[in-house]
């Protein structure tokens, strides 16, 4: 289980580095296998270039090489992404997570050429990120498999399309060393039963111990025990995304006194109704945190 770290903000919307340090330590102590910095869940689109650099260096310093760190570097200008990949200080970073270009709606050949350019430029392993609900374009199984076969440093895909037949097709035909990672907490368990290797999680920000336990049980073939945890979390995961992400998980982290319940516009906190429903389910689960 990797965790797509949120970015904690203070009431004045500045980055709360003390809260970020607490969160990183909490992840490491509670079973998270690797950290993902500056992904979608970090509200990266609202951060300045200076804030991004400071956040990455801070996470690396606090982590101190205890677990791997994956850095999100993506965009809808291939040249800009390649330039950033080439200029990035890679000390303390183990891989790059790069999302399919958004808004432009490139063809499958355009997606292939985009990731070919990134893979050619990168000194680090590359994880593809397919999330059509956010980008407006779906990377097909054929394109993912073409990239996986053509570039040895493209090591995985974070698949958040929710299209089971597509994800299963990738799993069936991928090279042995290529990894398929769930990009959706709600379907992590069934995807592992098909052959996925784990998840880059949102709920893991708040409940890393329990969710990483589910992942490990499933990977070990202990499906009954893993399914029990999966079913316990189904309602909570639905609520976490009811008013958009990361609003839901930030509300839960605020209930746990980990962060202030603050987001940057255009994102806003969950409604009071959703907030209280999350509180009720969290209390009923009686999970360790």
Give tens-digit pLDDT for 90-118. 999 999 999 999 999 999 999 999 999 99
Contact 221, 19 (CB under 8 A): no
Phi (first) and psi of residue 41, to 5 degrees: -65, -20
Q: E-strand spans in the chain?
A: 2-4, 34-37, 69-72, 95-99, 126-130, 154-159, 179-182, 198-201
Per-residue pLDDT band for 286 (boundaries 50, 70, 90) equals: confident
Nearest one of 28, 18, 2 to 204, comparing CA atoms: 2
Number of H helices, E strands in the chain: 12, 8
pLDDT of residue 259: 98
Question: Spelled out in words, what is the top-level CATH class assigned to the domain 2-220?
Answer: alpha beta
Strand partners, 4: 36
What pTM value is reported for the model?
Answer: 0.96
Provide the mean pLDDT of the chain: 97
pLDDT in tens, 44-89: 999 999 999 999 999 999 999 999 999 999 999 999 999 999 999 9
CA 171/CA 156 separation, integer angstroms? 11
The secondary structure of residue 242, as a DSSP letter, is T
Q: Is the pLDDT of residue 288 over 70?
A: no
Residues with a catalytic annotation lie at: 129, 158
CA 225/CA 147 separation, integer angstroms? 35
> What is the Cβ-side half-sphere exposure of residue 95, based on CA atoms within 13 angstroms?
21
Per-residue pLDDT band for 287 (boundaries 50, 70, 90) equals: confident
pLDDT above 90 as % of the chain: 98
pLDDT of residue 191: 98
Phi (first) and psi of residue 76, to 5 degrees: -110, 15
pLDDT in tens, 212-261: 999 999 999 999 999 999 999 999 999 999 999 999 999 999 999 999 99
Segment 172-188 shows an average pLDDT of: 98
């Amino acid at each position: 289980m990797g965790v797509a770290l949120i970015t904690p903000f203070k009431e004045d919307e500045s980055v709360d580095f003390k809260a970020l340090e607490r969160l990183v330590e909490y992840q490491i102590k509670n079973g998270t296998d690797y950290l993902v910095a500056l992904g979608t869940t970090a509200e990266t689109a609202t951060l300045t270039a200076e804030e991004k650099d400071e956040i990455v260096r801070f996470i690396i310093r606090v982590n101190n090489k205890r677990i791997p760190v994956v850095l999100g570097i993506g965009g809808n200008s291939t040249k800009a992404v390649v330039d950033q990949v080439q200029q990035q200080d890679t000390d303390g970073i183990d891989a790059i997570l790069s999302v399919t270009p958004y808004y432009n709606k490139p063809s499958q050949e355009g997606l292939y050429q985009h990731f070919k350019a990134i893979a050619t430029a990168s000194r680090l392993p590359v994880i593809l990120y397919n999330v059509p609900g956010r980008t407006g374009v779906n990377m097909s199984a054929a394109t993912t498999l073409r990239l996986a076969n053509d570039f040895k440093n493209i090591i995985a895909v974070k698949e958040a399309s929710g299209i089971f037949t597509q994800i299963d097709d990738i799993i069936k035909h991928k090279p042995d060393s290529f990894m398929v990672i769930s990009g959706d907490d709600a379907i992590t368990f069934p995807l592992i039963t098909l052959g996925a290797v784990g998840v880059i999680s949102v709920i893991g920000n708040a409940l890393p111990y329990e969710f990483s336990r589910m992942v490990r049980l499933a990977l070990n073939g202990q499906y009954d025990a893993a399914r029990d945890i999966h079913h316990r979390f189904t309602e909570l995961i639905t609520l976490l995304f009811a008013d958009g992400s990361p609003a839901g998980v930030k509300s839960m982290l605020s209930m746990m006194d980990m962060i202030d319940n603050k987001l940057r516009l255009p994102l806003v906190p969950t409604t009071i109704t959703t907030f209280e429903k999350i509180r009720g389910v969290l209390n009923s689960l009686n999970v360790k945190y």
